[in-house]
Structure 1
Amino acid sequence: MHVTHLSLADFRSYSRAEVALDPGVTSFVGPNGQGKTNLVEAVGYLATLGSHRASSDAPLVRMGAERAVVRAAVRQGDRQQLVELELNPGRANRARINRSSQVRPRDVLGIVRTVLFAPEDLALVKGDPGERRRFLDELVTARTPRMAGVRADYDRVLKQRNTLLKSAAMARRHGGRSMDMSTLDVWDQHLATVGAELLAQRLDLVAALEPLVDKAYEQVAPGGGPVVLEYRSGAGAGSREELFGQLLAALGEVRKQEIERGVTLVGPHRDDLLLTLGGLPAKGYASHGESWSLALALRLASYDLLRAEGNEPVLVLDDVFAELDSRRRERLAELVAPGEQVLVTAAVAEDVPAALAGARFAVAAGEVTRV
């Protein structure tokens, strides 16, 4: 799978941009702040419905514009599709496939698949659990696009349950009449049902990913492993039915504390992925270089997993070579050079390794020019 054309309207710094893309390696080169990352961010948005740099859509719309449009022509084998997303901050986003059919935004998931490595990925190792949960959930959705609906359902149920718990906590603190908790029983069932599905997918992903991460780390930083991934959950493991029962039981055990605090204390939104390197937790023990290599290994393993499952993603390397020493830089370039489509951003041409020679665009003052 590869993107053959990218079109932007009022996205980030671009009032308009039209970029024809080829398979193989394409580099976007230019000084910082000129819009290189905005281009690959747009491709990533089509794949995930989110940005690796912003938590909401508002910053993605050019200052003074009401909406932004990201459109891409995508080729997979002999099939070509046109996918379009219209970003409307404060209102519902809109999506179209092949111009004529208007669909829900999440229905476009799976048409474009990406694996993106960026400086922000250091947070996968050094950051809080939310960064690692997001990593898992985006990869779960890339493998199985219908999981976008499951994630949305879980978020909706969690919000409703938290609202009920908060009301119960407020009533208790102010000496009001105790609330009827039968409604909470219903939300427990909903949370355990959807949570078990999400949890099962995460556990399956971690099992498939672990050997690939260990292999990728050895390729990038020989002799520095092994790497072990451990999914830490308030529930446990097993079939979906077993996970449902475990989540339901765990919710029952903490109900008193939840009512006191007004928040849901058990579920996939509280879980974490423990990364162990050389027998020690990577967070707090790994050096800066080791953390970089482990973050890179997580992304390379994601790329290998999706490729092995039959739909090779676009690999995006956003301003990462300047952060790597020469040895890691060359190893990374050799590993990814055979990819069907690799998009690279760099401040100077010298940061792009020779192994990644290919098409090159100069990016400056909002202009994207092939050189």
Structure 2
Amino acid sequence: MLTRLTLLQFRSHSQLDLALDGRPVAIYGPNGAGKTNILEAVSMLSPGRGLRRAGADELARRPGELGWKIRAELAVAGGVGHEVETFAAPGGAREVLVDGKSVAQVALGRLMRVLWLVPAMDRLWIEAPEGRRRFLDRLTMAFRPGHAEDVLAYEKAMRERNRLLKDMVRDPVWYGALEAQMAGAGAAINENRAAALARIMAAQQGAATAFPAPDLALEGEGPADLGAALAEGRARDMAAGRTLEGPHRADLIAHHAAKAMPAAQASTGEQKALLISVILANARALAEDTGSPPVLLLDEVAAHLDAGRRAALFDEICALGVQAFMTGTGAELFAELGGRAQQIELREGAGVVVASP
């Protein structure tokens, strides 16, 4: 969990310092006060580009060319503490330090698991498969941080293969080397995803929850012998100018189990509830498997739930012992939490955002 979070020149925050005690955190204030920016900063303490998928040069406060920095103090299982910094100079790439030593981003996933749900994901079940694959990979990385490296290795080899295809290169040696890399990384990706889905489904069984449990499945992940399929499909792929088989074509399929219908056909509220159910199941499984509950980032989640489900969500978060960062426009949205959460009001004055505990 986070015990301190400091932002410097990050998004709308010139400087913000929050002392945290492990309880859920309810952040409220008017639109534009910088609530989501705090959640995005926490998401940057995990591998990848964060909940907005922004590049390093997009995160600095504007106007200004000072770069940005996020500093966090973490308490992990066993009471061990770590200091994490991630930052970028103007025009530079993102860097990560753990206890003062430079590390790869994947190291962050081994220190703290971070899951999120943001309003942009509300249409996840009815939009293109790409978003669902990204969602699934984020869930999978929480169980297996090395999954990020497998995905990067696969995508790098696939980009090179696609370049050869577009350039009409026919050298089988070049293709063979790249296809072997894709086959190895692809097998790991499929195995990681399948294991994550199985664990999430198991965590849903018997759980007392107000949110409907979805049946989840992975489709279109490609043939078992991907290397052979890629070799056989070179002519077809060359005509298309891209690779047409593999885990990059997979899709996460969800059904509303209680109503025996595809999630895409459920109501808007039910689709949101199914998403929350998946996130809670993931958190439950991680807490059981690692002994350290993940950090949850729930942007504007309270505003989209009725009072009953809102209270149920808060109860489940507290029962799981997760440190959840939640945002809303007013304190009344978090009334059911009472003293179980830290309440932080963000307000704007003279161009400065002030945190009120």
Q: Same fold (TM over 0.5)?
A: yes
2:310 corresponds, among 326, 329, 333, to 329
The one-letter code sitting in structure 1 at the alignment partner of 2:88 is: L
Shift of 1:139: 2.0
Secondary structure, counterpart of 2:248 in structure 1: helix
Q: Report what 1:117 is aligned to.
A: 117
Match of 1:205 in 2: 196
**Matches of 1:304 and 1:211, distance apart in 2:** 10
Q: Encode CA deviations 1:190-248: one digit per residue, 9 max, x unaligned.
A: 110111111110111111112434666x7224xx66x3111112435xxxxxx4xx212
Q: What amino acid maps onto 2:250 in structure 1?
A: D
Note if contact 2:254-2:262 (Cα within 8 Å) is conserved in structure 1: yes
Structure 1 ranges of 4+ moved more than 6 A:
none
Aligned to 1:80: 81
**Residue of structure 1 equivalent to 2:236:** 257
Asked whether 1:286 is paired with 2:266, we answer: yes
Counterpart position of 2:14: 15
Identity %: 31
Quote the offset at 1:356 in angstroms: 5.0
Rounded to whole Å, the distance in 2 between the matches of 1:65 and 1:54 is: 21
- Asked if the contact 2:16–2:355 (Cα under 8 Å) also holds between the matched residues in 1, the reply is no
TM-score by length of structure 2 reads 0.90
- 2:209 is paired with a residue whose SS is helix
Out of 321, 329, 333, the position equivalent to 1:351 is 333
Partner residue in 2 for 1:315: 296
* Count of residue correspondences: 347
Residue 239 of structure 1 aligns with which residue? none
Residue of structure 2 in register with 1:267 after alignment: 246
- Structure-1 residue corresponding to 2:136: 136
Counterpart amino acid of residue 192 in structure 1: A
CA–CA separation in structure 2 for the residues paired with 1:139 and 1:155:
18
Structure 1 residue 370, shift from structure 2 partner: 2.6
Residue 286 of structure 2 corresponds to 306
SS in 2 for 1:48: coil
CA contact (8 A) 2:165 2:242 kept: yes
CA drift of 1:56 comes to: 2.7
1:192-271 pair list within 5 angstroms: 192-213=183-204, 219-221=209-211, 227-236=214-223, 243=224, 246-271=225-250
Q: For residues 205 and 119 of structure 2, what CA distance do their matches in structure 1 show?
A: 21
Q: Which residue of 1 aligns with 2:27?
A: 28
SS at match of 1:266: coil
Shift of residue 118, structure 1, vs aligned partner: 2.1
1:367 and 2:337 are equivalent in the alignment? no
Once the two structures are TM-superposed, the CA of residue 7 in structure 1 deviates from its matched residue by: 1.0
Output the CA distance in 2 between the equivalents of 1:356 and 1:184: 60
CA distance in 1, matches of 2:98, 2:160: 32
Partner of 1:98: 99
Q: What's the TM-score once normalised by structure 1's chain length?
A: 0.87
Shift of 1:261: 1.1
Structure 1 position 117, deviation (Å): 2.3
Partner of 1:175: none
Question: What is the Cα deviation at residue 15 of structure 1?
Answer: 1.5
Cα distance change, pair 90–203 in 1 and its aligned pair in 2 (3 A): farther
CA distance in 2 between counterparts of 1:124 and 1:57 reads: 25
TM superposition shift of 1:44: 1.2
Could you tell me whether the CA contact under 8 Å between 1:31 and 1:347 is conserved in 2?
yes
